[in-house]
Amino acid sequence: MPPSPLRFLHTADWQLGKPFARVSDPDKRALLRQERLAAIGRIGSVAHQHGASFVLVAGDLFDTHQPTHADISAACSAIGAIELPVLVIPGNHDHGGAGSLWHERYFLQDCRQLAPNLTVLLERRPFELRQLGLAAGVLLPCPLLRKAEPVDPTAWLRTLDFSAWADQPRIVLGHGSIQGFGAEENDTDDENPPVPTNRIDLAALPAREIDYVALGDWHGLKQVGPCAWYSGCHEMDRFPRAADYRSGQVLVVEAHRGAAPDVTEVPTGGIQWHQLQHRFNSDDDLKQLEQRLRDRIGTRSNQDLLLLELDGSLSLAAAARLQELLQRLDARLIRLKRRDRTSVAPDAAELRQLIERACDPLVARVALRLQQLAALDDDQAELARMGLRELHRACVSR
């Protein structure tokens, strides 16, 4: 009879305590941090619903190797509530070297009291799941013992004798970027510059001996080999890189000895991160933007972040309406990040209000000259358009 497969959850990059410094409102930053904790409860629900025996966290459980005591206690409480074994390796953010949290008395006490189901794998040596009373299977942990490892953390597997686990599924647990990722694929954000080390060479692993490679570090879902996956974050933490970028999920994995694993994606995220591009070809396109925002955000408040990219041209009146819309949107969203290349200038009717001012010939002459300069294709054109906007605001809009 063939051995039973292992069913478990693969997750990574929880980065609990992440500061989200780009969000200006401290209350909204707190919402993002709290949601990362709440998502751990959703992970537990997924594990029980899908009959998983344990949960693997492939690095970066915390955002730093010295988290606050409050973050440690909150994490241990949430992990303890899962009531299944949770096995973790350190990543580059919470590396396992000297002075790291994994050796601190406070963490060790909280782990014993609040999360007795948590096992931190700090050594690069096989870990048999039978030690936890689980079915046969062996974990091959590749923890990071410093923020930037100059040597492939999976290199020790290349010479490992696998004969002791002839019928048991073998699961690699690693954290880092695989060789072959280009610079454009570097999964970094404003708070996390790219790290040139912690490189994992999947091609150098003894492929026939390994049944699943659970990876962390890349924050989006990505299959990178026949049995190798990045699970992505359990709770999305950055704007999408591309249309196919997916984050805010865990993977339910069924690993078989000597056969391809069965992998199922299950969503766990709560906060929505959106990216929206919109071009104004006329003032009427402002209404289209409002509709697209309603379709995307609905009536929600404090549940979404939006990267809004705008370009095109608007009249002064439409630009004023746009600013009002953006002010309301900024209040409702956790964060509104704008890349605004919209050109704003008076339309024909607004120009006539300035140029055809018989009662104020000086304003009319200035407006006419600014109109002429704004029509040129040089550095003065934008300054002239700014001048027209200010002139209209001073003479007409008040």
Selecting from 3.40.50.1820, 3.50.50.60, 3.40.50.620, 3.60.21.10, what CATH number does the domain 6-267 have?
Answer: 3.60.21.10
* pLDDT of 191: 55
* pLDDT of 183: 40
- Rounded distance between C-alpha atoms, residue 273 and residue 247, angstroms: 10
Q: Any idea what DSSP says for residue 3?
A: P
N-to-C CA span, the chain = 85
Structure tokens at 273: 């991160």
Q: Read off the pLDDT of residues 318-341 as tens digits, 9 standing for 90 and up.
A: 988 999 999 999 999 999 999 999
Q: What is the mean pLDDT of residues 31-37?
A: 97
* pLDDT of 192: 55
* pLDDT of 236: 95
- Rounded distance between C-alpha atoms, residue 145 and residue 197, angstroms: 13
Structure tokens at 245: 């970028």
Tell me which amino acid residue 338 is: R
Q: Read off the pLDDT of residues 290-301 as tens digits, 9 standing for 90 and up.
A: 999 999 999 999
* pLDDT of 284: 94
Torsion 294-299-302-304 (CA) sign:
negative
Q: Read off the pLDDT of residues 217-260 as tens digits, 9 standing for 90 and up.
A: 999 999 999 999 999 999 999 998 788 899 999 999 999 999 99
pLDDT band at residue 397 using 50, 70 and 90 as cut-offs: low
* pLDDT of 1: 52
Q: Would you say residue 184 has pLDDT above 80? A: no
Q: Read off the pLDDT of residues 52-69 as tens digits, 9 standing for 90 and up.
A: 999 999 999 999 999 999
Q: Which residues contact 341 (CB under 8 A, 6 or more apart)?
A: 309, 310, 311
Pairing between strand 228-230 and 222-225?
antiparallel
- Express as a percent the part of the chain with pLDDT over 70: 94
Query: For all residues of the chain together, what is the average pLDDT?
Result: 90
Could you tell me the residue ranges of all domains in the chain?
6-267, 272-344, 347-398
* pLDDT of 70: 97
Q: Which residues contact 119 (CB under 8 A, 6 or more apart)?
A: 85, 86, 87, 88, 132
pLDDT band at residue 138 using 50, 70 and 90 as cut-offs: very high
The count of other CB atoms within 10 Å of the CB of residue 19 is: 13
Q: Read off the pLDDT of residues 9-31 as tens digits, 9 standing for 90 and up.
A: 999 999 999 999 999 999 999 99
Q: Would you say residue 181 has pLDDT above 60? A: no
With b for 16 or more beta-carbon neighbours within 10 A and e for fewer, the 368-383 pattern comes to eebbebbeeeeeeeee
